[in-house]
Structures are given as structure tokens and as C-alpha cells.
Amino acid sequence: MNVLILSVGTRNKIVQYFKKALGDSGKIIATDMSDLAPAVYEADKFYKVPKISADGYIDIIFEICKKENINCVLSLIDPELSLLAKHKEAFSDIGVTVVGSSYELCERALDKMEMFNWLTQNGFPCAKSYTDKELFYKDVENGNITYPVFVKPVCGSASIAISKVYDKETLELLFAHNDNLMIQEFLNGQEIGADVYIDMLSGEVVSVFTKKKLVMRAGETDKAVSFKDEKLFTLIEDFVNRSGWRGQIDIDIFDVDGKYYISEVNPRFGGGYPHAYECGCDHMTMILNNINGHVNIKNIGQYEDGIYMMKYNDICIKKSLNM
């Protein structure tokens, strides 16, 4: 079996874990738009590709799949998830399974207002969100929301261009100089990350790992500690089952005075996933099981709580960039 991982960047651990899961039964092929992406050198073979927005990009991916006899493909960046989902049938026609959720769900995950609307319509607690400034100001006057709030792009990832705003003047300034912004309630509580695998054959949630985020860096979890709460596991299962997610997803949740609020979903491996793996939640093997036609056994919460993860920097040294 051969696995194609797109846009690997600095996600060395993800490539390493897939190689370990495969063993001698196949190869890991990686792509990135830069040959200075260190994770590509963990793979068995690397292709340098254009930006995902470039004309003909998807055709290049198809050609790699055919040339390398790829069995499944996944991406590690948000904007590419919808692209893969959109071409799911075309991949299937050449014998390649796209590891991920539907196009509709990938788009919902990118659009924070669409996610907010879905959550509220389905009764899940979440942060109040607005694209209409006047409606926000009215709610401030009525005491329904208070400063500070977050101002962020409606469609964005990696915590890029997010501002914590304490007054109307700053909010007006941001809206005057940027398009497609939203206002989101500041949830003053413990941020939680959930690494979840939904079996691609049965559609059942088979693995959940939750961690309290202690330190964040560049939008990713830098330090965290594992914990377990059956109430949270139940909420996650309910949310996933009613949404229809498939494969690997990463959910951001807030605990505010004992009440859980769902924030965002990344339908891919999150930056803090290595914490889950090292605690025994091997989602790579689960993916390979599905590709081989096997349904995974439900294994929710089978890890120790109180296990800390602390990221640190490493380096990749190469005399030549040719693989």
C-alpha cells in the first residue's frame, strides 16, 4: 500500500507515524511547494509541486497517484481539503481513496460563520458570532455580549489575522481596512483540543483523545495535558454523528465554568496530534485498516490522563536537496 501525503511542511511526526504504521508493506510519498519543507525528507519519495491554487495543480496530483500506485491521499492543510473532496470520484476512478470528509463539510469548516450557524441551529453551545457590526453593537447595548471580542477572517486558518479587540474604535478600524471579517465572542475558559477518528467504512466514532491546551504557538498546541471526561466524549460523538464527518478531524472546544462550547473543526490531523499518538491513539493504523477494507473497533478514551506534551524545535540538515 502506498500513501500520498500532500503539503507536509514541517509535520515530520505525521510522516514518521505513517511510515511506522506501513512498515515494509508500502511507501509514503510526500509533496510540498518547497524543497525546504523538512517533513518531505521523512518520506520515501518527494515531489515538489506548485501552489494548490495554480492551474493544473490537481492534474499533477493525479499523475503522481498513477505513477506511484497510490492507494490513499490526504492533506495536512485546510485549503486543500475541499479540493480533494471535490475530486473524490475522480480519485476513486484511479483507485485512490481520499481520506477526509465531504466537500460540504470541508467548506463548512473553512467558513466560521457557516459553522456558527450550523451549531446554533442544531443546539450546540458555541461562541456568539457576527458579520453585521450593527447587530453586534445592539447586543452590546442590550448586555448580550461584552468586550473583549475576537475579530478574525470569516475564512481562515492557523490563527492568522486574529485580533483581540477591547473597544468599538479598534473594531471599526479593523473593519475599515479588511474585508470579510467577523466578530466572535471571547470565551474565557480552558481551551481543549480533541483528536477524533471516524471510521470511513462504518461512520462510527472509534477514537477520541482530549487534551487541555496549556500553551499555544502560531495557532498550534505547544504544550498540553491529556484528560478524560465522559460528558465531553458524549458531546463529541453527538456532534460528529449529526454532522457526518469522516476520517481524521481536530475539534477546538472551550470549557467555561463546566460547560463545553464547540469552537472550530479542522478535518485533518491537527498540530497537536502527536500527543494523541504517543498516548496510544494510533489513527494512522486506523486509516490503513479502512483502506484495506477493515472496520476499526471502537476505542474511545483508551489512554492515560495527566500525560503532558511539550513541543520543542529540531532541525533538518541536508547537503543536497535532491532525494
pLDDT in tens, 20-75: 999 999 999 999 999 999 999 999 999 999 999 999 999 999 999 999 999 999 99
Q: How far apart are CA 35 and CA 42, in angstroms?
A: 12
Q: Which residue has the cell 484511479?
A: 94
Q: Is-contact 57 32, C-beta < 8 A?
A: no
Any domain includes 123: no
Please write the tens of the pLDDT for every residue from 256-280. Answer: 999 999 999 999 999 999 999 999 9
Do 228 and 263 belong to one domain? yes
CATH number at residue 295: 3.30.470.20
User: In this predicted structure, what is the pLDDT of residue 160?
Assistant: 65
User: Structurally, how many domains does the chain consist of?
Assistant: 3
Q: 49 and 14 in one domain?
A: yes
Residue 323 belongs to a domain:
no
> 210 and 297: one domain?
yes
Average model confidence (pLDDT) for the chain? Answer: 95
Provide the percentage of residues in the chain whose pLDDT is more than 90: 91
Q: Which helix (H) or strand (E) holds 256?
A: strand 247-256
| Cα R_g (the chain), whole angstroms | 20
* pLDDT given for residue 104 in this prediction: 97
Write out the residue range of the structural domain in which residue 248 sits. 188-310
Cα pseudo-dihedral 26, 24, 16, 34, rounded to 10: -40
Residues 135, 88 share a domain = no
- In this prediction, residue 283 carries a pLDDT of 98
Same domain, 226 and 266: yes
Give me the pLDDT at residue 158, please: 56
Residues 6+ apart with CB under 8 A from 208: 194, 195, 196, 233, 236, 237, 300, 301
Per-residue pLDDT reduced to its tens digit, 13-26: 999 999 999 999 99
Q: Are residues 180 and 192 in the same domain?
A: no
Given a cut of 70, is residue 102 above it in pLDDT?
Answer: yes
Give residue 216's pLDDT. 82
> Where does a domain end: 54, 79, 98?
98
For the chain, helix, strand, coil in percent to 5 are 35, 30, 40
Q: How far is CA 270 from the centre of its chain?
A: 5
Could you tell me the CATH number of the domain that includes residue 81? Answer: 3.40.50.20
pLDDT tens digits for 76-91? 999 999 999 999 999 9
Kindly state whether residues 172 and 262 are assigned to the same domain: no
Residues 52 and 17 both lie in one domain: yes
Q: Please tell me the pTM assigned to this model.
A: 0.94
User: Which pLDDT belongs to residue 95?
Assistant: 97
For 149-158, how does the pLDDT look when each residue is reduced to its tens digit (9 = 90+)?
999 999 876 5
Residue 217's CB is within 10 A of a number of other CB atoms, namely 11
State the Cα–Cα distance between residues 186 and 57, nearest whole angstrom.
38
pLDDT at 116 over 70: yes
> Both 199 and 282 in a single domain?
yes
143: CATH: 3.30.1490.20
